[in-house]
Amino acid sequence: MKKSVADILIEALPYIKKFSGKTIVIKYGGHAMKDEDLKKDFANDITLLKYIGVNPVVVHGGGPQINKVLDSMGITSKFIRGMRYTDDAIMDVVEMVLGGKVNSDIVAGINRQGGKAVGLTGKDGMLITAHKMTIYHQEDENKPPEIIDPGMVGEVSSINPDIIHTLIEKGFIPVIAPVGVGESGETYNINADLVASKIASALSAERLMLVTDVDGVLNIDNKLISSVNAKDIKDMIGKGQIKGGMIPKVECALDALNSGVKKSHIINGKLSHTVLLELFTNSGIGTQVF
């Protein structure tokens, strides 16, 4: 029998109680950032979370938007093991797009729905300090690994959450672009999943949610796994059941768990109100990692 609106609200009530006063870090990316209806749904979800006492912190990507600007400039992107090679010219575009248009669009969308969002980059208040990423690639175990330079691609050195705490206490919703600053003031382009995981850890968040373009972790029969523990995730990686682009996502989820985050979620942003459905229904819609 189809659930009534009252049934849905009653089902959500214990979860609303559970998460009230808690911090939830949401990585926002993929198709959900491009479809206008889904963008509005996401803004509504985030605003509603704040109104019911949850403290959402949004970390966003922006790869397609960066590609569009680079293409218009005649600059071809090169990817190294999934990382965009980032020289000085590309870094200028990354910072302009992520810290400018994408960030301000998300902030404006939340504010239009009645939220109070504030845009940040990792450079604001020394929120994210970073160092250069070095990629090691070894095709033959009998030969030394190849060291690959990805340019101004960074890894998180540390998170200073003071500015986030201040904004939350004042009733604002932080929206963070994933760029960091090096010890000499240089800017680094950092993977948004990684940034979200590190921020969730620094905030001792109740949840880390990775909004992506797939349903979640699938079993050997390509069926969605709604809940899975860290040990089983590691076993699935070892057996090759989790592969490709899902590996870094589950590794970010596991890293957050190891650093004190209660649970991580991988959910499909192509669905309407995906954040609310995962948090406030018994079955959820994605994969919960614990």
Running DSSP on this structure, what letter comes out for residue 211? E
216 to each of 33, 247, 280, how far by Cα in Å?
Answer: 18, 11, 17
The pLDDT mean for the chain works out to 94
pLDDT digits over 245-287, tens only? 899 999 999 999 999 999 999 999 999 999 999 999 999 999 9
pLDDT digits over 115-165, tens only? 999 999 999 999 999 999 988 766 667 667 778 889 999 999 999 999 999
> 196, 212, 220, 237: which is closest to 287 by C-alpha?
212
Dihedral-angle region of residue 237 (phi above 0 means left; psi in -120 to 50 means alpha; beta otherwise): alpha
**Is the pLDDT reported for residue 51 higher than 90?**
yes
Residue 92 one-letter amino acid: D
Question: What is the residue whose two structure tokens read 């995962």?
Answer: 278
pLDDT digits over 179-208, tens only? 999 999 999 999 999 999 999 999 999 999
> Would you say 202 and 161 are in contact if contact means Cβ atoms under 8 Å apart?
yes
**Is the pLDDT reported for residue 2 higher than 80?**
no
| Sequence-separated (6 or more) residues with CB below 8 Å from residue 72 | none
**Is the pLDDT reported for residue 60 higher than 90?**
yes
Q: What pLDDT shows up at residue 147?
A: 80
Domains of the chain in start order, with CATH, are 5-289 (3.40.1160.10)
Phi, psi of 184 (to 5 degrees): -100, 10
Q: What pLDDT shows up at residue 1?
A: 65
